[in-house]
Amino acid sequence: MPDQLLFAIEVTMNGLMAGVLYALVALGFVLIFKASGIFNYAQGVMALFAAMTLVGIQNGQVPFAHLINAVFGTEVHHFGWHVPAILAILLTACVMVLFAWIVERYVLKHLVGQPDIILFMATIGLAYFMEGFGDLMWGADIKKLDVGLPQGGSFWLEENTAWLGGEGFYGFFIDKLDMVATVVAAILVASLVAFSQYTKQGRAMRAVADDHQAALSVGVSLRFIWVLVWSLAGFVALVAGIMWGAKSGVQFSLSLIALKALPVLMLGGFTSIPGAIVGGLIIGVGEKLFEFLIGAPFLGGATENWFAYMLALLFLVFRPQGLFGEKIIERV
Amino acid sequence: MNDMSADSYVTEDGRTIGGVVMEMKNITLRFGGVVAIKDISFDIREGEIRAIIGPNGAGKSSMLNVISGFYKPQEGEVMYRGEKRPPMKPYQVAQQGIARTFQNIALFDGMSVLDNIMTGRLNSMNASLLSQAVWWGKAQKEEFENREKVEKVIDFLEIQAIRKTPVGRLPYGLKKRVELARALAAEPSLLLLDEPMAGMNVEEKEDMSRFILDVNDEFGTTIALIEHDMGVVMDLSDRVVVMDYGKKIGDGTPDEVRNNQDVIDAYLGVAHD
């Protein structure tokens, strides 16, 4: 096989893996948007907050240490223990559920029936609040997240694929973390789909997503479903936070991955779980291949920064509901 | 028949009407300065078909919304099975066994007919999430039972042919029937129908009337329905409440109501003082 083609295949595979990570973030948006029509601007910050909390719990950090020290003149930093990764992840999941409950109880409940833009503004407020609250709770320094996921290129894959090409080809380079992320994302999506299709709570969730009034009339509590949906979105944020955090450290820029999820949503449609996955993969592969084939040779590179948004713009013009979204038909 | 005795009696066509299931006591409902319902009392007895009729804007739908918990009356009490009902959310009312349909049809358009009707069984599912996740034990048993009951309702309302069709694609008349099926699937002790025949042609109206009578006859379901078309109601119901401008102007058997001067005036449009 010509080396050029092999490189293109490698780029495509890496694009797919990157796409999975985009899809993970987009998934959180879709869950909340479907069930409540709210575009949750805070989704990215939720991923950051979840990652910070996970690191904090794992390292036995004292929450609000700076605040406590400043008020009481103490010198506390760490409890001096380390929590195993699995337990820390479970505890963080509990924190995200608690967070979902608080959001419903103190924010959403008071905004029922308000126009969408008000709810959107509320989530912007929520995003800034969480960002500050997270810093206050766990400190604003860049943290290393290590839950024992394998990292670095897979030598096995490189060695066993090197024969495909000639002298200049050393085999496919794929980060092990990306592979893990792909497997985790696949499991996560499969269980989310199974949950919404086959369980009582999942059916109730779909009912609420479809029609609030009808859902009430068959005995579904909207408030319970909203807590459930925000918990699920929090859980998805946690998974995204772990993957991105392990890749590039837990820091403020983590919350900006939410911006990458926007074009994914425009491609896949705001209301479709499979759409979020396919949209993520298309963006991931698209931006890597575009950079490889056109960007680097002809445009001076760095096209990855804007390619996704250009693609989203094209979709907005020609297919505003996305690939899988519900077609919007207004009756006149 | 208008007295409040709890004794049961047998109708001419052989159905047994029991004691009072639900009683509305001096209900008043206001929206800001507008009085939608003014001091209305009436009761619904076990096993009967009770109609609430009146011209447009009389407050019929508001009354149904009070019963189903969508509106909270400012004054008055709702008595259910002899006990005063505390203020409840609509989903709590549904969990008590009161199912309803809507005037403007509230179905889950994205789901199939079967899935829509299955949502009517949500309240009867108690298996734990774990049991549902591993699809074993209670969850599996429940699912089979629920499917069986839903299939029975589908057969009963003769909608086998469309069971897999997404509801959004159905014509109006069939949507109404699916909505009735979803309410029936909950095996309600009280079924509330908001204008079940609105917007239907004559044939569809006849079908719907037959289904309502059959439901009442076959399952013994107590039914309260709203309708503004007097003709249809008189043939269906055991007792009728007539509302006009938020007030109750008549209550009794169809014959009694038909001969009530206030009712005649309301329907013929005599000027109000």
Q: What is the CATH number of the domain that holds B202?
A: 3.40.50.300
User: Among B187, B219, B254, where does a domain finish?
Assistant: B187
Chain A residues whose beta carbon lies within 8 Å of the beta carbon of residue B187: none
Q: Whole domain around residue A233: which residue ranges? A: 3-254
Residues 6+ apart with CB under 8 A from B125: A200, B142, B146
Sign of CA dihedral A90, A93, A99, A101: negative
Mean pLDDT of chain B: 88
- The partner residue sitting opposite A219, judged by closest CB among B91, B102, B110, is B91
CB contact under 8 A, B95 and A218: no
Chain A residues bordering chain B (beta-carbon distance below 8 Å) = 198-201, 203-204, 206-207, 209-211, 213-222, 326
B106 lies in a domain?
Answer: no
Give the whole-angstrom CA distance, residue A68 versus residue A60: 16
Quick one: pLDDT at residue A181?
87
What does the alpha-carbon distance between residue B93 and residue B148 come to, in Å, rounded to a whole number?
25
**Could you give phi then psi for residue A302, rounded to 5 degrees?**
55, 30
Q: Which phi and psi angles does A250 have, rounded to 5°?
A: -90, 110
Number of domains in chain B: 2
**Higher per-residue confidence, B251 vs A66:** B251
In a domain, B221, yes or no: yes
Are residues B225 and B90 part of one domain? yes
Question: Is position B104 within any domain?
Answer: no
On whether residue A153 sits in a domain, the answer given is yes
Closest residue in chain B to residue A191, using alpha carbons only:
B133
- pLDDT (tens digit, 9 = 90+) per residue, B162-192? 999 999 889 998 999 999 999 999 999 999 9
Residue B102 within a domain? no
Interchain CB distance below 8 Å, B123 and A218: yes
Does some domain include residue A110?
yes
From the list A207, A211, A217, which residue is nearest B90 (CB)? A217
Closest residue in chain A to residue B124, using alpha carbons only:
A200
B3–chain A nearest CA distance, Å: 32
Task: Report the domain count for chain A.
Answer: 1
Among the partner-chain residues B89, B99, B132, the one whose CB lies closest to the CB of A198 is B132
Please state whether beta strands B9-10 and B16-17 pair in parallel, antiparallel, or not at all (unpaired). Answer: antiparallel
Residue type, A279: G
Out of B107, B123, B129, closest to residue A214 by CB: B107
Residues B67 and B37 placed together within one structural domain of the fold: yes
Domain with B62, as residue range(s), is 1-97+188-273
Same domain, B224 and B266: yes
Is residue B158 located within the same domain as residue B221? no
pLDDT of residue B6: 55
Mean pLDDT within A83-108:
93
Residue range B145-161: average pLDDT?
92
H helices then E strands: how many in chain B? Answer: 10, 12
Does residue B46 sit within a domain?
yes
B interface test, pick of A187, A192, A197, A200 with most B CB neighbours within 10 Å: A200
Average pLDDT (B152-165) is 93
Work out the average pLDDT over A133-151.
87
Under the banding of pLDDT at 50, 70 and 90, the label for residue A332 is low
- For residue A108, the 8-state DSSP code is G
Claim to verify: residue B170 and residue B201 sit in the same structural domain: no
Q: Cβ A219–B186 below 8 Å, yes or no?
A: yes
For B63-94, write each residue's pLDDT tens digit. Answer: 999 999 999 999 999 999 989 999 999 999 99
Q: Per-residue confidence at A244, pLDDT binned at 50, 70, 90?
A: confident
Confidence of residue A67 (pLDDT cuts 50, 70, 90): confident
Predicted TM-score (pTM) of this structure: 0.83
Q: Between A and B, how many residue pairs show a Cβ–Cβ distance under 8 A?
A: 78
pLDDT tier, B1 (very low <50, low <70, confident <90, very high otherwise): very low
Per-residue pLDDT for B272 more than 70? no
Residue A328 is predicted with a pLDDT of 60
Confidence check: pLDDT of A165 > 80: no
Find the closest chain A residue to B146 by CA distance.
Answer: A200
Q: Which of A178, A149, A138, A143 is nearest to A249 (CA)?
A: A143
The string of pLDDT tens digits covering residues A271-319 is 888 888 899 999 999 999 999 888 888 888 788 888 999 999 998 888 8
CB contact under 8 A, B94 and A218: yes
DSSP-assigned letter for residue A140 = S
DSSP structure class, residue B37: E
Residue A327 has φ and ψ, to the nearest 5°, of -70, 135
Q: Do B178 and B143 share a structural domain?
A: yes
The 10s digit of each residue's pLDDT in A46-58 is 999 999 999 999 9
Q: What angle (nearest 5°) sits at the alpha carbon of residue B253, between those of residues B251 and B255? A: 110
Measured distance CA(B34)–CA(A51) in Å, rounded: 53
Whether B103 is in a domain gets the answer no
Confidence of residue B240 (pLDDT cuts 50, 70, 90): very high
Q: What is the ipTM of this complex?
A: 0.84
**Residue B4 — very low, low, confident or very high, per pLDDT cuts 50/70/90?**
very low
Boundary-marking domain end, from B162, B187, B212: B187
